[in-house]
């Protein structure tokens, strides 16, 4: 068993009978002067951690970009902030040993955030986000049995965008405080997308903790 896959399933054994929460995007909360600028997702170096179903870099990039746009595009502050996401590795569960050892789907991301007006990177090092599928009753026997590959991808990218939003919220009092807090007068975006390659994420080390995203959000 490889390191990332061991991480992805560690600590996420599911209690049977949990209802699968409906996926929805709740009303945005205060995020200061945040206004999404460039949203760059790179998956060229994503490692498929066996046993896993296939997913192409193009699929990860298209799905994650759209989901991040939908979630973070709701915030209408007065300053642009750019997001760079690298997909470092993933496992899409295949049919496995039922009940106890059924494999879980997971994706590992590295995130960088830039302040456009100051032309600086706010994240000293890429922030690693380890995201697992939403836990539900069907997860007990493994979504490799109960979900298609496309459903697993949709589940993970939804949770990944939510985890990214939560990370931004946890830093809002430090990063998004200068205003203006409304979008009036925002200048056109500068063409700097070529500078926003997220780069390689931190090395994945066996034994590091994995946190599941909040259910239902």
Domain-wise residue ranges, the chain: 3-12+32-173
Average pLDDT of the chain?
78
- Nearest one of 143, 126, 125 to 134, comparing CA atoms: 143
pLDDT, one tens digit per residue, over 171-213 is 999 999 988 888 888 888 877 656 555 554 444 333 333 333 3
What local confidence, expressed as pLDDT, does residue 178 receive? 87
pLDDT, one tens digit per residue, over 153-175 is 999 999 999 999 999 999 999 99
Mean pLDDT (whole number) for 59-81: 96
CATH node for 3-12+32-173: 3.30.160
Higher pLDDT, 205 or 40: 40
Token pair belonging to 56: 């192409």
In which residue are the tokens 């430090």 written? 174
Residue 95 in contact with residue 105, Cβ under 8 Å?
no
pLDDT, one tens digit per residue, over 79-109 is 999 999 999 999 998 876 555 566 789 999 9
pTM (two decimals) = 0.78
Residue 132 in contact with residue 11, Cβ under 8 Å?
no
- Nearest one of 163, 103, 97 to 129, comparing CA atoms: 163
Token pair belonging to 102: 């059924």
Residue 13 in contact with residue 55, Cβ under 8 Å?
no
């Amino acid at each position: 068993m490889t390191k990332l896959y061991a991480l992805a399933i560690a600590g996420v054994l599911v209690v049977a009978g949990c209802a699968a929460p409906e996926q929805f995007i709740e009303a945005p909360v205060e995020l200061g002067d945040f206004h999404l600028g460039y949203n760059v997702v790179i998956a060229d170096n994503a490692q498929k951690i066996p046993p896993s179903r296939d997913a192409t870099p193009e699929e990860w990039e298209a799905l994650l970009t759209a989901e991040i746009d939908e979630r973070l595009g709701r915030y209408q502050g007065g300053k642009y902030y750019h997001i760079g996401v690298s997909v470092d590795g993933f496992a899409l569960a295949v049919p496995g040993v039922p009940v106890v050892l059924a494999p879980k789907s997971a994706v590992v991301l590295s995130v960088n955030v830039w302040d456009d007006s100051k032309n600086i990177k706010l994240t000293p090092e890429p922030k690693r986000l380890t995201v697992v599928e939403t836990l539900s009753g069907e997860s007990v026997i493994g979504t490799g049995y109960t979900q298609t590959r496309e459903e697993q991808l949709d589940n993970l990218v939804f949770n990944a965008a939510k985890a990214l939003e939560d990370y931004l919220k946890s830093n809002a009092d430090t990063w998004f405080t200068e205003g203006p807090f409304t979008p009036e007068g925002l200048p056109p975006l500068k063409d700097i997308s070529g500078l926003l390659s997220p780069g390689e994420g931190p090395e994945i080390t066996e034994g590091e903790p994995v946190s599941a995203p909040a259910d239902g959000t």
